[in-house]
Amino acid sequence: MAEALDSLATGRVPERLTLRDAVRALLAHLATTAPGRSVEVRVPPYGAIQCVEGPRHTRGTPPNLVETDPVTFLQLAAGRVDWAAAVADGRIRASGIRSDIGALFPIV
């Protein structure tokens, strides 16, 4: 994870496997920090989790969905991108009444 964040800090995109491993580790940490199944967080193509307490989602497209790209997710997790700014400029797509999970970041 540190290698991926160091790459981003120097303006480089991390290698694919490094990026994948960092995203998966941070998603796992987020699921532990905010346990539950009411919000689905997707970071394609590397992973998706359900988190945040509340009504459980079981089938189809979840009513509370957050989706972003891997680089934005790492930047968000490291506190290098602001949640509201990333939502406003379209780097994070959040829908549903529970989808504002900005308070859970930064993770690292």
Give pLDDT tens digits for 88-105. Answer: 999 999 999 999 999 999
Give pLDDT tens digits for 24-73. Answer: 999 999 999 999 999 999 999 999 999 999 877 666 667 899 999 999 99
Which of 53, 56, 58 shows the shortest CA–CA distance to 31? 53
Q: 2-104: what fold?
A: Nonspecific Lipid-transfer Protein; Chain A (3.30.1050)
Q: Whole-prediction pTM value?
A: 0.91
Which of 78, 91, 82 shows the shortest CA–CA distance to 26? 78
Question: What does the domain layout of the chain look like in residue ranges?
Answer: 2-104
